[in-house]
Chain A
Amino acid sequence: MTPTDYLAATLLVAGALFFLAGTVGLLRFPDVYTRLHALTKADNVGLGLMVTGLALQAESWAVVGKLLLIWWLVLLAGASVSYLIASGALRRGIRPWRR
């Protein structure tokens, strides 16, 4: 394995840890708003790390472009959809959780 491979593997594992944290948050947080927070934050960073890791091993720049496009699409969709879910939940009268 070359140093690039080690770096890529580290990035992939770090990304997976972010996904794990996001999933734990999704399961453990008390209400829809905090769950959305856990999900979007963790998954966006996690996916970013994974995309970087995979881009290091990509065979061509076209593949890197596609990976970045996937990341950008997920960022865009994740942010917009969680806004829509949260505003929908507010409209239905779901109150944010307070301790």
Chain B
Amino acid sequence: MATLTLLQSAFDILLGAALLWLAWRALNCPDLFKAIVLFVAFGLLMALAWVRLEAPDVALAEAAIGAGLTGALLMAALARLRAMTPDEEDSAKRLPLRWLPLAALLLVATGLSYVVLTLPPEAAGLGAEVATHLNSSGVDNPVTAVLLNFRGYDTLLEMVVLLLALLGVWSLGGPPLRRKAAPGPVLDTLARLLAPLLILVAAYLLWVGGHAPGGAFQAGSVLAAAAVLLLLAGWRLPVALTALPLRLTLVAGPGIFVALAVGTLLLEGQLLQYPPAQAGVLILLLEAVATLSIGVTLAALFLGGHPQNDNNDQNNKEQR
């Protein structure tokens, strides 16, 4: 077993070094496109680090959202930026007196590392607390229990943050992502093959989140990935669906959360305190609606401007 531990330590150190190196390269290589690619690779290695820290739920979220969707957002923004200001690159214009922040941050990093190394070895955590109350939470996966039951208000506010970000993006306007004239047969086939499968995977992740790694956020981001793929392949929502139905889907997640919070406040006397007998069903219902809203919100964030502004978009799903 000693060899195995040694190998694992070696892997940990290698992974940590790779993370730091990728972050450094992503932040300092002159080409912005390369920087984004390096950042996506960094996100994938972060997912590996989460697995090593025995946080598979976080690993799933990081791989899907932190690496995948953030990378897609960055790429789309860079493409638009280059279309707008074709000659401008990262103009290597840097702050004079760079050693000043460098010295200050070295000091901060040294101080933080010192604190980390001198902390008492026993973490005063809530792990045991969560384990004792897991039975009454309605689910078997402790992370889902924390997200949707014990600290459900976090998730409620998070849904509101997502919605606010989308409102900000829509209000700032600009046209939504322009689509290429012809996506080509390969991309089109890929989207047609993958989209139904991704929806199935999202449903599976949603269901499995009750007792194993998975849950609404991971499922929602897989759903968003399916939508991003369809958007890239040139598919758009029918115009009729971009007004009220889209808005209703977007607010359904926060809406049902708020409704449930008010309901439990009136019936049980405490915000988001579910009756243990119905907790499982309530959480699944909440997660299902939240998944749909998260997926659609993330896809709308990727698309950029409000789909109704897309005047020249006449082809839609029906007409293809």
Contact = CB atoms under 8 A, between A and B. Distances in A.
Chain B associates with chain A: yes
Interface of A: 73, 76-77, 80, 83-84, 87
A84 B187 contact: yes
DSSP class of B's interface residues: helix, strand, loop or mixed? helix
Contacts of B189: 80
B125 interface: no
Interface of B: 184, 186-187, 189-190, 193-194, 197
A64 to B, nearest CB: 16
17 contacts: A73-B194, A73-B197, A76-B190, A76-B193, A76-B194, A77-B190, A77-B194, A80-B186, A80-B187, A80-B189, A80-B190, A83-B186, A84-B184, A84-B186, A84-B187, A87-B184, A87-B186
A22 B187 CA distance: 24
A87 B190 CA distance: 15
Given A80-B190, A83-B186, A87-B186, 7 more contacts: A73-B194, A76-B190, A77-B194, A80-B187, A84-B184, A84-B187, A87-B184
Contacts of A87: 184, 186
A79 B245 CA distance: 36
Nearest to A83: B186
Contacts of B193: 76
B180 to A, nearest CB: 11
Contacts of B187: 80, 84
A18 to B, nearest CB: 19
Contacts of A84: 184, 186-187
A30 B184 CA distance: 27
B18 to A, nearest CB: 13
A76 B184 CA distance: 16
A77 B197 CA distance: 13
A85 B193 CA distance: 19
Contacts of B190: 76-77, 80
B14 to A, nearest CB: 14
Contacts of A80: 186-187, 189-190
Nearest to A80: B190
Contacts of A73: 194, 197
Contacts of A76: 190, 193-194
Nearest to A66: B204
Closest 7 CB pairs of A and B: A80-B190, A83-B186, A80-B186, A84-B187, A84-B186, A76-B193, A76-B190
A83 B187 CA distance: 9
A83 B184 CA distance: 11
A46 B193 CA distance: 24
Contacts of B186: 80, 83-84, 87
Nearest to B204: A66
B63 to A, nearest CB: 13
A77 B225 CA distance: 13
A87 B184 CA distance: 10
Contacts of A83: 186
A73 B190 CA distance: 10
A77 to B, nearest CB: 8
Nearest to B194: A76
B232 to A, nearest CB: 10
A13 to B, nearest CB: 14
B118 to A, nearest CB: 39
A96 B189 CA distance: 26
A4 B30 CA distance: 50
B227 to A, nearest CB: 16
B223 to A, nearest CB: 16
Nearest to B189: A80
B28 to A, nearest CB: 20
